[in-house]
């Protein structure tokens, strides 16, 4: 039988009751299929559940909490989180959808096999964590309210951009159609389940893309307080947001608490050490990423190697296309590519200024459209005053900052670092540090081009004041060291972290002291930024 024939048979079998369940029990003998494996969770659950149960017995009654996850790795993480919350006394339900891939089709038959496998594994968390597969929810109505139907379309578009690493796509694209179907089904099931069970709190990873983004929007549509969480590049730290998408990195509350509080010398030294490490392309403390391919060589050496003369230098730093920090971040441009395209067009007629486009080094790990292509579509032959630095070129971005007179960014954190160095920075996308008092923030194309003209007419006059530079440093410290909250288990290193910090340690006295506030914030207690140490 050819592949399409097998798939057709599975689709038929998938609609017949108990066929997938019997097949899984008889032929698979309880083993996972494909990438959808919960083997490490299966091994850890008995002991983790027992340890959490010991603490749950003495814990005061908490809230009714619903945690939702999809994809095997998020399901594993959400289960461990759910056990920890149960150990704090909360009544936890783990909702899930048993997908192993977000962009590949799967037959109903195989999906049901994965579902019964997940149920059998997750049942080991009972009775502390109740299990609810949204695949088993059969809504009485398939009609979605208009607001949720619109949300499904938006999330599906984000999913397609994220998957294909593009900003524009054909609505007939197979990925988009797949994401529409799955997101619509998830919205219908989540709406039905949440309306009937009505938890006091909903907790969701990410909250922007895939079924997790859809369930977040359903919870907010129903007015249920919701927390989203994600992980950056720091061990033992978590980003979280209350009634907001965590990838928006909303720092308003944090900044209100700290904007008038100068940094101590110790804090300045710590931040300086972090950025020295970034410049030298070495890891530092609990940060896992090396931000540059080579150490800084010095601005003047970079100027010589790139053939830059003494004309003013404008540094445009790009983001990685399709990154979740760029999705839906447009302010006056249609997207990041249009912003880059029109900016390059503008500078093609300004030979008195040198434009350096620094393509994000992270593009070496992507498969989508490169920002180099965007530039070359506008200017197939670059004039001598425009230089594009590709993601593989051994150029340190901090050397470019040293020789620049103006920075242009969409949402990249490089804009914050430019401001820390006193550069005027024009921010064209909705990023967390926009509007904090040390960037230039246009809201229209007219305002953008007007700012470009004003700054390049007198670059030196637009250098940041000492007060603005200090403000940028204050913000950077709070964003890097206070915004991420202490948390024991990183998604990427879950089982290594869990072996170092098992449930009994996290729920014990030392773990309570270190992580208790974060668990309270995850269950909806307002974040008290004033109480944050430092």
Q: Are 360 and 317 in contact (CB under 8 A)?
A: yes
Could you give the C-alpha distances from 445 to 224, 251, 336, 386, 430, in angstroms and in order? 38, 26, 13, 21, 15
DSSP 200-239: SEEEEESSSSHHHHHHHHHHHHTT--EEEEE--SBTTEEE
In whole angstroms, what is the distance from residue 348 CA to residue 325 CA? 29
C-alpha gyration radius of the chain? 25
- Contact present, 68 and 212 (Cβ < 8 Å): yes
Dihedral sign for Cα atoms in the order 119, 123, 125, 126: positive
Picking from 259, 272, 295, the residue whose alpha carbon sits closest to that of residue 467 is 259
Torsion sign (Cα): 520, 522, 523, 526: positive
Q: Which residue has the tokens 């940060």?
A: 287
C-alpha to C-alpha distances, 453 to 237, 309, 346, 459, 493, nearest whole angstrom:
42, 20, 10, 10, 48
| Per-residue pLDDT at 8 | 55
Per-block mean pLDDT, blocks of 10 residues, the chain (534 long): 50 52 57 82 97 96 97 97 98 97 92 94 96 95 94 97 90 96 98 98 96 98 98 92 95 94 94 82 49 61 89 94 80 94 96 94 72 90 94 86 95 94 96 97 98 94 95 96 96 96 97 96 92 66
Which residues does residue 408 pair with via DSSP β-bridges, in sequence order? 316, 426
Structural domains of the chain, count: 1
Instruction: Read off φ and ψ for residue 350, nearest 5 degrees.
Output: -125, 70
Cross-strand pairs, 230: 239
CATH of the domain at 369: 3.40.50.2000
- The answer to whether position 159 is within a domain reads no
Residue 488 domain-assigned? Answer: no
The CA-atom distances, in angstroms, between 14 and each of 19, 108, 131 are 7, 5, 22
CB 94 within 8 A of CB 79: yes
Query: Which residues partner with 427 through β-bridges?
Result: 409
Element (H, E) at 131: strand 129-133
Residue 511 domain flag: no
Rounded distance, CA 180 to CA 40, Å? 31
Residues 344, 386 contacting (CB under 8 angstroms): yes
Kindly state the tokens that stand for 287: 């940060």
Quick one: which H or E segment has residue 336? Answer: helix 336-348
pTM (2 d.p.) = 0.89
* Residue 519 covered by a domain: no
Its sign, for the CA torsion 52, 57, 59, 63, is: positive
Mapping DSSP onto H, E and C, the string for 474-524 reads HHHHHHHHHCCEECCCCCCCHHHHHHHCCHHHHHCHHHHHHHHHHHHHHCC
In contact, 342 and 316? CB cutoff 8 Å: no
What secondary structure, in 3-state letters, does 22-73 show?
A: HHHHHHHCCCCECCECCHHHHHHHHHHHHHHHHHHCCCCCCCEEEEEEECHH
- Look up residue 319 and give its DSSP letter: P
In sequence order, what are the residues at sequence separation of 6 or more whose Cβ sits closer than 8 angstroms to the Cβ of residue 418?
315, 317, 401, 404, 407, 409, 425
On whether residue 136 sits in a domain, the answer given is no
Q: Flag whether 110 is in a domain.
A: no
Helix and strand numbers, DSSP H then E, in the chain: 20, 12
Q: Where are the beta strands (DSSP E) in 286-348?
A: 313-317
With H, G, I as helix, E, B as strand and everything else as coil, classify residue 284.
Answer: strand
What is residue 534's three-state secondary structure?
A: coil
Domain that includes residue 412, residue range = 261-482
Q: Which two tokens stand for residue 405?
A: 């007179």
Q: Which two tokens stand for residue 31?
A: 């083993």
Counting Cβ atoms within 10 Å, is residue 49 exposed (0-12), middle (13-18) or buried (19+)? buried
Q: Is beta strand 237-242 parallel, antiparallel or unpaired with respect to 485-486?
A: antiparallel
Per DSSP, what are the bridge partners of residue 234? 287
CA distance 426 to 95: 43
């Amino acid at each position: 039988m050819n592949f399409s024939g097998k798939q057709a048979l599975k689709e038929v079998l998938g609609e017949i009751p108990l066929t997938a369940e019997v097949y899984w029990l008889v032929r698979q003998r309880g083993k996972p299929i494909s990438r959808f494996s919960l083997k490490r969770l299966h091994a850890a659950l008995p002991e983790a559940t027992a340890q959490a149960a010991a603490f749950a017995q003495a814990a005061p009654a908490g809230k009714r909490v619903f945690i939702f996850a999809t994809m095997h790795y998020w399901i594993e993480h959400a289960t461990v989180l759910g056990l920890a919350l149960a150990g704090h006394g909360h009544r936890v339900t783990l909702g899930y959808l048993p997908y192993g891939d977000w962009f590949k089709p799967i037959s109903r038959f195989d999906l049901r096999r994965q579902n019964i496998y997940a149920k059998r594994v997750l049942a080991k968390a009972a009775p502390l964590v109740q299990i609810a597969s949204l695949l088993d929810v059969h809504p009485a109505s398939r009609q979605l309210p208009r607001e949720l139907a619109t949300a499904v379309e938006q999330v599906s578009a984000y999913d397609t951009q994220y998957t294909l690493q593009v900003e524009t796509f054909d609505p007939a694209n197979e990925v988009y159609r797949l994401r529409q179907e799955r997101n619509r089904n998830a919205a219908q099931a989540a709406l039905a389940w949440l309306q009937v069970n009505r938890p006091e709190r909903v907790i969701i990873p990410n909250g922007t893309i895939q079924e997790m983004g859809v369930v977040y929007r359903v919870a907010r549509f129903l007015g249920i307080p919701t927390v989203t969480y994600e992980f950056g590049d720091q061990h033992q730290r978590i980003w979280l947001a209350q009634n907001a998408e965590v990838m928006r990195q909303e720092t308003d509350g944090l900044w209100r608490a700290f904007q008038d509080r100068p940094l101590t010398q110790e804090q300045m030294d710590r931040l300086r050490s972090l950025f020295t490490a970034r410049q030298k392309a070495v890891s530092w403390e609990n940060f896992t990423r090396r931000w540059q391919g080579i150490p800084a060589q010095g601005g003047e050496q970079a100027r010589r190697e790139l053939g830059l003369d003494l004309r003013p230098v404008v540094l445009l730093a790009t983001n990685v296309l399709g990154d979740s920090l760029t999705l839906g971040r447009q302010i006056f441009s249609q997207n990041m590519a249009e912003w880059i395209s029109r900016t390059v067009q503008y500078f093609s007629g300004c030979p008195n200024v040198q434009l350096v486009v620094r393509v994000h080094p992270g593009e070496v790990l992507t498969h989508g459209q490169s920002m180099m292509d965007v530039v070359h579509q506008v200017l197939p032959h670059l004039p001598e005053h425009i230089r594009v630095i590709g993601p593989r070129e051994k150029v340190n971005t901090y050397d470019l900052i040293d020789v620049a007179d103006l920075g242009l960014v969409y949402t990249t954190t490089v804009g914050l670092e430019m401001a820390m160095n006193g550069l005027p920075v024009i921010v064209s996308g909705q990023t967390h540090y926009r509007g904090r008092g040390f960037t230039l923030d246009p809201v229209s194309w007219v305002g953008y081009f007007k700012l470009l003209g004003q700054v390049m007419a007198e670059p030196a006059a637009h250098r940041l004041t000492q007060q603005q530079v200090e403000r940028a440093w204050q913000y950077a410290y709070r964003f890097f060291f206070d915004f991420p909250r202490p948390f024991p288990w990183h998604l990427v290193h879950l089982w290594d972290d869990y072996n170092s910090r098992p449930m009994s340690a996290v729920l014990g006295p030392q773990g309570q002291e270190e992580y208790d506030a974060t668990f309270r914030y995850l269950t909806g207690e307002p974040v008290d930024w004033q109480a944050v140490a430092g």
